[in-house]
């Protein structure tokens, strides 16, 4: 699932909603769209810019006409996006600054995208002064050049829907996450940052999936590795294997994560409370 943020930088609610509607209309021609909105006004002490934290009311709907809606308190944007990843091809998150996902800014001139003001602005894929300036086709193309958002649940659901699933008796998975410390006395890791060798990393990942799927008894393999900043406690990498029996499933999961680490060109920077360094540059 691809996630797109749309936020208002001075255009007003009406202009923001017109941009959202145009984008959702375009995305719905490609697949199912979930729309997410966050209302921080009911959260005690939570301000609008804190909308990635637990507190306010999150509502989400499927489809431009809002024919299916849900809401809940004490939720986060990230938790709702994770839920939508199982059912949707796209998620549009409205009115939230500071997303880790590609974003369209409404009410800003073109200089916003060319001259980022902070660390999040490199995710701005379009900046428009008014709804009429929006090019939905260009936004779609830019969005699909970015990495999709996946969860363990969305990958497992995908293999369950495989035409080969009726021959399966096992699904085995692996989740790698950011470890705060190896030992009690270690400096705490705040986050890891991953960069990939563009083009080559995707080719190697696809080739590895194909190779693993050629094994006897293995039906489907899904590999996914996040890039960018991944904070302490967050998930980094998933391996999901659909197989006829548990033995093939377990062996392929282990080989899959080992080979991914060895064969796919991904570069890791570790940032602790005391230091930061690229792991491949350390002896």
Domain with CATH 3.40.50 in the chain: 2-144
Model pLDDT, residue 283: 56
HEC letters along the chain: CEEEEEEECCCCHHHHHHHHHHHHHHHHCCCCEEEEEEEHHHCCCCCHHHCCCCCCEEEEEECCCCCEEEEEECCCHHHHHHHHCCCCCEEEEECCCCCCCCEEEECCCCHHHHCCCCCCHHHEEEEECCHHHCCHHHHHHHHHCCCCCCCHHHHHHHHHCCCCHHHCCEEEEEEEECCCCCCCCCCCEEEEEEEECCCHHHHHHHHHHHHHHCCCCEEEEEEEECCEEEECCCEEEEEEEEECCHHHHHHHHHHHHHHHHHHCCEEEEEEECCCEEEHHHCC
CA distances from 117 to 113, 120, 123, 262 (A): 9, 8, 11, 37
Q: What is the pLDDT of residues 168-185, one digit of tens each?
A: 999 999 999 999 988 888
Q: Parallel, antiparallel, or unpaired for β 2-8 and 90-94?
A: parallel
Ranges of residues in the chain whose predicted pLDDT is under 50: 42-56, 63-64, 66-68, 110-120
Under 8 Å CB-to-CB from 90, ≥6 apart: which residues? 1, 2, 3, 4, 27, 30, 31, 32, 33, 34, 143
Q: Which CATH number fits domain 152-281: 3.90.1170.40, 3.40.50.720, 3.40.50.300, 3.40.50.620?
A: 3.90.1170.40
Model pLDDT, residue 80: 83
Domain with CATH 3.90.1170.40 in the chain: 152-281
Q: Which CATH number fits domain 2-144: 3.40.50, 2.40.128, 1.10.150, 3.60.21?
A: 3.40.50
Model pLDDT, residue 79: 83
Q: What is the pLDDT of residues 39-83, one digit of tens each?
A: 655 444 333 333 343 334 555 665 445 444 556 666 678 888 898
């Amino acid at each position: 699932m691809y996630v797109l943020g749309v936020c208002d930088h001075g255009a007003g609610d009406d202009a923001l909603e017109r941009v959202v509607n145009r984008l959702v209309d375009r995305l719905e021609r490609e697949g199912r769209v979930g729309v997410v909105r966050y209302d921080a006004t009911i959260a005690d002490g939570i301000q609008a810019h804190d909308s990635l934290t637990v507190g306010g009311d999150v509502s989400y709907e499927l489809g431009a006409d809002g024919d299916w809606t849900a809401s809940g308190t004490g939720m986060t944007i990230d938790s709702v996006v994770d839920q939508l990843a199982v059912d949707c091809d796209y998620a549009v998150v409205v009115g939230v600054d500071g997303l880790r996902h590609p974003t369209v800014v409404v009410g800003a001139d073109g200089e916003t995208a060319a001259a980022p003001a902070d660390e999040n602005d490199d995710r701005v894929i379009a900046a428009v002064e008014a709804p009429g300036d929006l090019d939905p086709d260009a936004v779609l193309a830019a969005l699909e050049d970015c990495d999709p958002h996946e969860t363990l649940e969305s990958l497992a659901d995908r293999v369950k829907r495989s035409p080969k699933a009726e021959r399966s008796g096992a699904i085995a998975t692996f989740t790698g996450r950011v470890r705060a410390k190896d030992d009690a006395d270690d400096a705490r890791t705040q986050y890891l940052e991953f960069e990939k060798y563009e083009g080559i990393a995707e080719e190697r990942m696809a080739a590895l999936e194909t190779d693993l799927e050629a094994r006897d008894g293995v039906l489907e393999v899904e590999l996914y590795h996040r890039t960018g900043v991944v904070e302490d406690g967050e998930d980094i990498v998933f391996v999901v294997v659909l197989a006829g029996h548990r033995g093939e499933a377990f062996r392929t999961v282990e080989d899959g994560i080992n080979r991914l680490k060895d064969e796919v060109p991904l570069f890791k920077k570790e940032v602790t409370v005391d230091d930061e360094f690229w792991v491949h540059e350390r002896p």
